[in-house]
A = this chain, B = another copy of it.
Amino acid sequence: MSKEITSRNSDYSKWYNDLVLKAGLADYSAVRGCMVIKPYGFALWENMRDQLDKMFKDTGHVNAYFPLFVPKSLFEAEEKNAEGFAKECAVVTHYRLKADPNKKGSLMVDPEAKLEEELVVRPTSEAIIWNTYKGWIQSYRDLPLLINQWANVVRWEMRTRLFLRTAEFLWQEGHTAHATEQEAVAEAEQMLEVYAEFVEEWMALPVIKGVKTESERFAGAVNTYCIEALMQDGKALQAGTSHFLGQNFAKAFDVKFSDKENKLEYVWATSWGVSTRLIGALVMAHSDDEGLVLPPRIAPLQVVIVPIFKGEEQKAQIDARVGSLVQELKKAGVRVKYDDNDNARPGWKFAEYELKGVPLRLAIGARDLENNSAELARRDTREKMSVSMDGLTDTILQLLDDIQLRMFAKARDYRDAHIIPADTMEDFLRILDGEGGFVSAHWDGTAETEEAIKEKTKATIRCIPLNNPEENGTCIFSGKPSTQRVLFARAY
């Protein structure tokens, strides 16, 4: 099974695609650039979604649902936002099909069912939501509005990759409205912290928190906060963004509130989102040449138990012992499966569950029963150990914790070893063309230099880290004075 996967060294990009397809996370579809999220991939997304949803609710947010379509006139109201997304909009122009008179059994778009105003399939929902908020906000008493939505969005990308960049993807988008600038900024920062906590503690993926440069900002934002992660090929991946939108959308949609002094003011806004792209990050950050390696806290299956037996009698003995173990594990909240399917041999199952990244595999044979033991295999280190059946639930719970922590530590060590200062363009390129990673370099703060470096090296400024130390230097490209280093990388 594992032999069918390209190795990371031979072709990292093909390794990734192989893994996504063969581990059953996703599949291509008949629609250009759209994917099918398969049950195993969706179970992973459900675990991520449920935890994020809990964290959003714990910070006072509620869910709602806004229309899929945005009338063109609303879409274009916030000019920068419209400009930023116009090139990738799927547009509904008609509302009916009819039988094609020239081709039996075929349908055609009914030209008489042309919409008066075209509808954009939402690439993001600021426009439709702020147009709605206009009706909901009159007074400071209506604020803050702390609303999130789980939804599908469509951005017509020319070059797509499973999870990382697809025309349609699933995400959540928070859209909040506030009475003061300070409160909105605090909200945007809080949600960045929530994202960082989720990605680090649940996905075992260390991130760098920072802000985007002006040219990398979300279209329509005053400030874009982001978390950046590092993949095993030395490329960076933006794992989540949180935007302080100022009063841009309030002005575009004329959303004002009367404050305590009865003065009319424009409302302050934030928006923030993460998407199924995170699954791509998860795969690329942790997996190996044998398959996925999933962090226990979000793995659809945490433990798989495989019986090894000859004949019905041995099988019955193992069934009996495993039955109570499974119950105990489930009671302890462990996601466990007993795979006694007799269509496949144990070796095949072992490879299959390695491919699927199940954190722990327990093999139990007749001799194990005699010895009151079992063989436990960790997916992350591929270590095997003989363990006692006594207190096995505790052993497993401890190991799951340990795997979670070790995966994070491993990814963090790799990341930390790949934040490399450079003071010349030669070093800069040498690092990028070598092992890659984040290059920490001085930048003169201009969009021109940023663009020139991108042109020359394919690296972008991933972020200006939060609490970035001041350091006087000269821009690596222009030689002009600079007050801080920023992080460059090639990125997904």
Residues on A lying within 8 angstroms of B by beta carbon are 27, 29-31, 34-39, 41-43, 45-46, 62-72, 74-76, 79, 82, 86-99, 105-107, 109, 118-121, 128, 131-132, 135-136, 141, 147, 151-152, 154, 156, 168, 170, 343
Top 8 closest pairs, chain A to chain B, by CB: A34-B67, A39-B62, A37-B65, A86-B97, A95-B156, A91-B94, A31-B67, A93-B93
CA distance A51 to B88 in the complex (A): 37
Q: Given the interface contacts A65-B170, A109-B91, A168-B69, does A119 sit within 8 Å of B31 by beta carbon? A: yes
Q: In the complex, which residues of chain B have a beta carbon less than 8 angstroms from the beta carbon of A39?
A: 62-64, 147
Nearest-neighbour CB distance to chain B for A323, whole angstroms, equals 19
Q: In the complex, which residues of chain B have a beta carbon less than 8 angstroms from the beta carbon of A45?
A: 65
Instruction: Supply 12 A–B pairs (Cβ within 8 Å), ascending by A.
Output: A34-B69, A36-B64, A36-B132, A38-B64, A68-B121, A72-B107, A89-B97, A91-B97, A92-B93, A97-B120, A109-B118, A151-B152
Q: In the complex, which residues of chain B have a beta carbon less than 8 angstroms from the beta carbon of A131?
A: 30
Q: In the complex, which residues of chain B have a beta carbon less than 8 angstroms from the beta carbon of A41?
A: 64
| Contact call A93/B91, Cβ cutoff below 8 A | yes
| Contact call A29/B67, Cβ cutoff below 8 A | yes
Q: In the complex, which residues of chain B have a beta carbon less than 8 angstroms from the beta carbon of A93?
A: 91-94, 109
Q: In the complex, which residues of chain B have a beta carbon less than 8 angstroms from the beta carbon of A95?
A: 88-91, 156
| Contact call A27/B132, Cβ cutoff below 8 A | yes
Q: In the complex, which residues of chain B have a beta carbon less than 8 angstroms from the beta carbon of A69?
A: 31, 34, 90, 168
Q: In the complex, which residues of chain B have a beta carbon less than 8 angstroms from the beta carbon of A99?
A: 86
Q: In the complex, which residues of chain B have a beta carbon less than 8 angstroms from the beta carbon of A42?
A: 62-65
| Contact call B86/A107, Cβ cutoff below 8 A | yes
The one of B36, B87, B94, B132 that contacts A29, using a Cβ cutoff of 8 Å: B132
